[in-house]
């Protein structure tokens, strides 16, 4: 579905991605893991067309994304830090997004998270007045709202309270079961245990490994993702 082919991205002298290749398929939930600054967000942004690789290319459903922005209709993106027009209310923001997406032939709406996070009670609140966690709830709701085939979630549970975090995890599992591709970056490895089918591990811009969770468990003899990753890191 999404394939990164030998992607390299430099910011000045820093190589944020070094010849990274990865194939991400339908029905997979892939955890992008690695230390701070290892290139996870840069890889995700390359997939979204927000960062253009210096070398290599990305395909979405076998088409190079470089000159074809329409593929983004099929992706729901939850950024690490969502930035929104601060004077808009939540209601205005959701309506604006519906307007934009439906004009470009958007998909059916999925308001499960809007309801589960009780956003209808907060529609009059302006974005600048929201707590960090509520802004995250808006970001999550927007990512799932247009029923996309692919969900790219960058640190999705950061700032969410335990109840909201659980609601989001259940939603991710439900969407994966429908055959969607979910890419998720997180530092809270314990949260990923019930979710992920595959792990991509990044370090210093290099993709160190890309394995199914079963394979990773087999190779390390550890059941928990956090322990399996720790075991791999100790060996490197």
Residues of the shown chain interacting with ligand ATP in the complex, contacts defined by CB under 6 A: 11, 14, 16, 34, 36-42
3-state helix, strand, coil in the chain (%, to 5): 40, 25, 35
Q: Which of 90, 96, 92 is nearest to 129 (CA)?
A: 90
114/183 with CB nearer ligand ATP: 183
* DSSP secondary structure of 98-114: HHHHHHTT------HHH
50/163 with CB nearer ligand ATP: 50
16/31 with CB nearer ligand ATP: 16
Residue 38 CB, nearest approach to ligand ATP (Å): 4
Residue 32 CB, nearest approach to ligand ATP (Å): 8
Local structure of residue 51 (DSSP, 8 states) = S
Length of the chain: 236
Q: Are 199 and 211 in contact (CB under 8 A)?
A: yes
- Please tell me the distance from the alpha carbon of residue 35 to that of residue 58, in angstroms, as a whole number: 23
37/49 with CB nearer ligand ATP: 37
Residue 40 CB, nearest approach to ligand ATP (Å): 4
34/76 with CB nearer ligand ATP: 34
Residue 79 CB, nearest approach to ligand ATP (Å): 11
41/141 with CB nearer ligand ATP: 41
- Please tell me the distance from the alpha carbon of residue 85 to that of residue 143, in angstroms, as a whole number: 17
DSSP, collapsed to helix, strand or coil, labels residue 30 as strand
Residue 45 CB, nearest approach to ligand ATP (Å): 7
- Please tell me the distance from the alpha carbon of residue 157 to that of residue 174, in angstroms, as a whole number: 16
Structure tokens at 179: 């055959």
Residue 153 CB, nearest approach to ligand ATP (Å): 13
Which run of H or of E encompasses 199? strand 198-203
């Amino acid at each position: 579905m999404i394939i990164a082919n030998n992607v390299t991205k430099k910011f000045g002298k820093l190589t944020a991605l070094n010849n990274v290749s990865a194939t991400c398929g339908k029905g997979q939930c892939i955890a992008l893991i690695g230390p701070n600054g290892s290139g996870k967000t840069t890889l995700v942004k390359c997939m979204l067309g927000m960062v253009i690789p210096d070398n290599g290319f990305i395909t979405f459903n076998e088409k190079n994304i470089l000159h074809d922005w329409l593929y983004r209709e099929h992706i729901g993106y939850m950024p690490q830090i969502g930035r929104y027009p601060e004077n808009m209310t939540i209601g205005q923001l959701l309506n604006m997004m519906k307007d934009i997406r439906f004009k470009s032939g958007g998909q059916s709406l999925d308001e499960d998270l809007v309801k589960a996070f009780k956003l209808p009670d907060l529609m009059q609140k302006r974005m600048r007045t929201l707590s960090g966690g509520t802004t995250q709830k808006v970001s999550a709701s927007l990512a799932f709202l247009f029923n996309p085939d692919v969900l790219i979630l960058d640190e999705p549970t950061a700032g969410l309270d335990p109840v909201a975090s659980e609601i989001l995890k259940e939603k991710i599992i439900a969407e994966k079961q429908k055959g969607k591709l979910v890419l998720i970056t997180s530092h809270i490895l314990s949260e990923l245990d019930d979710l992920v089918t595959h792990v991509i591990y990044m370090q210093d811009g290099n993709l160190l490994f890309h394995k199914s969770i079963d394979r990773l468990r087999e190779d390390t003899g550890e059941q928990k993702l956090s322990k399996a990753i720790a075991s791999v890191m100790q060996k490197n």
